[in-house]
Structure 1
Amino acid sequence: MTTTTDWCYLLGTISFVGIVVLHSWWKATNESMSYPPGPVKLPLIGSVHLLPQRYQERTLAEWGKTFGDIVFAKLFQTPAIIISSYDIARDLMERRSGNYSDRPRFILIVELMGWKNAITHLPYGEQFRLHRKWMQNAFQTKSALDGYRSIQRREVIVFLNNILSSPNTWASHLTRFSASIIMEITYGHQVTSSDDKFIGIAQRAGEETVTAGSPGSMLVDFFPIMKLIPAWCPGGGFKRKAAVAGKYVRELYDAPYNMVRDNMRKGTARPSFTANLIEQLDRDGRLTHEWEENVKGAAAAVYAAGTETTATVMMTFMLAMVRYPDVYRKLQEEINQVVGSERLPDCDDRQALPYTECVIKETYRWRTPVPLGIPHSSTKPDAYNDYHIPQNAMVIPNIWAMSQDERMYYNPTEFRPERFLKTNVLDPKNIVFGFGRRQCPGNELADRSIFLLISGIAATMDITKCKDSMGIEITPPPNFTSGLVSRPEEFCCTIKPRSGKAERLVRQMNVVVTEE
């Protein structure tokens, strides 16, 4: 006779066997899918020994040519997926963005330097979605973008007037141009001098951050226990650098925010991203210290990301025009024909300037400002083209490799805007601003600023090569710095007004904007 105990034993045995069988099936299924091919991996260090300190995008691009457009590597014990193809980047980070929108843990830049509550480094979740909503409302609606046009036009005129006064310091004028636009939009502060206090704070914070290291690139990011090393110990130099950077990052968070709060109390605050958020949170009764830190982080991220990349793109444009004078002449001719010489180009002229549009696209492509982007992270295991992608893998889009893909861009090292007259060529704006839910929310604002400045320069200025003591023209080499942001190494060029009429136009317009 079968007892209740016997039945329980039998059911338990069946359940156990079933679990074992299901586990074996799951394990066999997953193990039957191998990782993507990749470089040799050594115990403990993985493939780190194969990566150079500088220009890592080039080595990763070589891996792509050797192993394929999706490569598996190990950076110490962290699994890494390197993507060198736009199609794969789109498939994973856009079409499967729910799984590829997270970030690795950035110990150096977030936990030690203090870049907390910055959307660029936030893990994917509720806080990230809130910050992205703030950004979308401020930078992606047509009404918001149109509201910034007067600031952008004014700063183009200020830049051109500064060139007339001191053409040899054109690079610093470019930095001021991008910083002034973002500073006013973010904090309502209009920059009126080259030694502006708040721009100085932001520049120092950016410089010290870059010097201390890039996100996901330092040992402490792979071995969190290194956080505990005292700064005075051998090997603790990264903590000393991070502490210096952290001081300026904290000042960037606090100083402009406090300026906005003080102006709001006085009733003199100008409309801005920060003021709008403070008003909204105060109205809802949520302006606590925690929420203030969220606003500070969001504003600092907008300023830091927008200023550096826009200035870098413009410096790349300047280098390209010096090296390719025929391109610059065609650009000037188109603007002459469409806009004339009585005014500066405006956003409404853009559709009628197809060659100008091609020049902007080729500037983005020729040398992408952020070659490797900021790594994504996979939230859960995934399969792609019969390859296994593990959970918590660092996913690195090699934007530089995509921009130099010979299958898409013929002779990619050459600056050839005409390539974009064909409709089947990938628009580099689809890659340089990032992917999926991590795409730069200020891309349209940056793109408008770049259009207005490029077309304004071409309408009023001639850019030519410098000459040496023998009167021989100097062609600057296409050399770029290594790092998270890659910009042209310092070079010389000559900038002069195209004509007396162009010079008078710039000076007259500057008088108008100065009086406003």
Structure 2
Amino acid sequence: MAIYFALVQEVEIENVGLCEPHENGSAPTSVAASMLEDVHNEDDEIVARDSVGVAYAGIDTTSSFLQTFVLAMITHQSVQEKAQAEVDRVIGVDTLPTFKHRDQLPYIDALIKECMRWGVILPMGVPHQATSDDVYKGYHIPQGALVMANSWSILHNSEIYPDPEVFRPERFLEDGCKDYSDFAFGYGRRVCPGKWFATEAVWAAVVSILASFDIVPSMDEEGKLKSVTVDCTVGAVSMPVPFDFDLRVRSASMKELLAEL
């Protein structure tokens, strides 16, 4: 979430004019600060405001994804180990990844796709409205009717994704696997406008976490593993039910590197 707060912290909600940190030169580097440098008129202000507003609107969905990712890692340790092995092979064990490494990390991309398919963030998508009468597979859809796509059902359809309840990133490395983003980010002309930003942001978060930490189940006071329930909340935005976990820095060199950031 810090990524999104960095984007929006330089824009005032009710007054899009330049705020004090930007004016006195104390504003940290961010997309919002860069956009404000190019504000010359009211239209520029509107573009800056709306752009960072869209980014801020993705906080809850991004949070849901990262919780799903962590849940998947503590319940599928072998997947985590395979992903970390790919990161170590491509990047090494004493440095952090950058976007230049992305094409060399196909398993990480597959892991992210499986997280979005397995733990659907918007189970019923976003409502659409029919602009005219229509008929779909014999069903009459009158003009003005609200239409909701059951994204959860599609992404757990065994005819599209065999064994849909199984968390298996490898499915997205196999020929013929349907692109998850056709369903996870909405449909038609009203596809999520933050789709491309979101995929970049979560990739950066996932690969950085895997390079830096081992994600492991928590222990109770008796030294036993705490149980983890794989379930999700009910709502427009679905999230895993609360669970405990621990992060362990993977090496002494990585600990030193993180301390320098």
Give TM-score, length-normalised by structure 2: 0.87
* Contact 1:375 1:395 (C-alpha < 8 Å) held by counterparts: yes
Shift of 1:256: 3.4
Q: Work out which of the residue numbers 94, 110, 131 in structure 2 matches 1:358.
A: 110
1:501 aligns with 2:253: yes
* Contact 2:215 2:247 (C-alpha < 8 Å) held by counterparts: yes
Q: Counterparts of 1:265 and 1:469 in 2: how far apart (Å)?
A: 48
What residue in structure 1 maps to residue 4 of structure 2?
182
1:414 aligns with 2:166: yes
1:380-391 to 2 correspondences below 5 Å: 380-391=132-143
1:275-354 to 2 correspondences below 5 Å: 275=36, 279-281=40-42, 298=50, 301-354=53-106
One-letter amino acid matched to 1:185: L
Q: Counterparts of 1:494 and 1:187 in 2: how far apart (Å)?
A: 30
Q: Counterparts of 2:10 and 2:22 in 1: how far apart (Å)?
A: 14
Q: Counterparts of 1:347 and 1:256 in 2: how far apart (Å)?
A: 31
* Contact 1:321 1:463 (C-alpha < 8 Å) held by counterparts: yes
* Contact 1:376 1:396 (C-alpha < 8 Å) held by counterparts: yes
Shift of 1:263: 4.0
Q: Match of 2:216, SS?
A: strand
One-letter amino acid matched to 2:161: Y
Deviations 1:166-193 (A, max 9, x none): xxxxxxxxxxxx2x3223334536xxxx
One-letter amino acid matched to 2:152: W
What residue in structure 1 maps to residue 145 of structure 2?
393
Q: Counterparts of 1:261 and 1:299 in 2: how far apart (Å)?
A: 15
Q: Match of 1:415, SS?
A: coil
Q: Match of 1:258, SS?
A: coil
1:38-49 to 2 correspondences below 5 Å: none
Shift of 1:475: 3.5
What residue in structure 2 maps to residue 402 of structure 1?
154
Distance 1:445 1:471, change over 3 A: same
Shift of 1:404: 0.8
What residue in structure 1 maps to residue 18 of structure 2?
261
1:187-206 to 2 correspondences below 5 Å: 187-188=9-10
Larger-Rg structure: 1
Shift of 1:311: 1.3
Q: Match of 2:240, SS?
A: coil
1:228-243 to 2 correspondences below 5 Å: none
Q: Counterparts of 2:21 and 2:250 in 1: how far apart (Å)?
A: 44
Q: Counterparts of 2:188 and 2:37 in 1: how far apart (Å)?
A: 26
Q: Match of 1:368, SS?
A: coil
Deviations 1:394-449 (A, max 9, x none): 11011111111111111111211111111211121221111122111111111111
One-letter amino acid matched to 1:352: Q
Shift of 1:460: 1.3
Q: What CA RMSD, in Å, does the superposition of the two structures yield over aligned residues?
A: 2.7
Q: Match of 1:450, SS?
A: helix
* Contact 1:312 1:487 (C-alpha < 8 Å) held by counterparts: yes
Distance 1:265 1:458, change over 3 A: closer
Deviations 1:318-347 (A, max 9, x none): 001000101001011111111112321111
Q: Work out which of the residue numbers 422, 426, 435 in structure 1 matches 2:178.
A: 426
* Contact 1:406 1:412 (C-alpha < 8 Å) held by counterparts: yes
Shift of 1:470: 3.0
Which stretches in structure 1 are left out of the alignment for 5+ residues? 1-177, 190-254, 511-516
Q: Counterparts of 2:63 and 2:137 in 1: how far apart (Å)?
A: 39
1:443-462 to 2 correspondences below 5 Å: 443-462=195-214
Q: Counterparts of 2:31 and 2:20 in 1: how far apart (Å)?
A: 11
Deviations 1:34-86 (A, max 9, x none): xxxxxxxxxxxxxxxxxxxxxxxxxxxxxxxxxxxxxxxxxxxxxxxxxxxxx
Distance 1:299 1:356, change over 3 A: closer
Distance 1:271 1:388, change over 3 A: closer
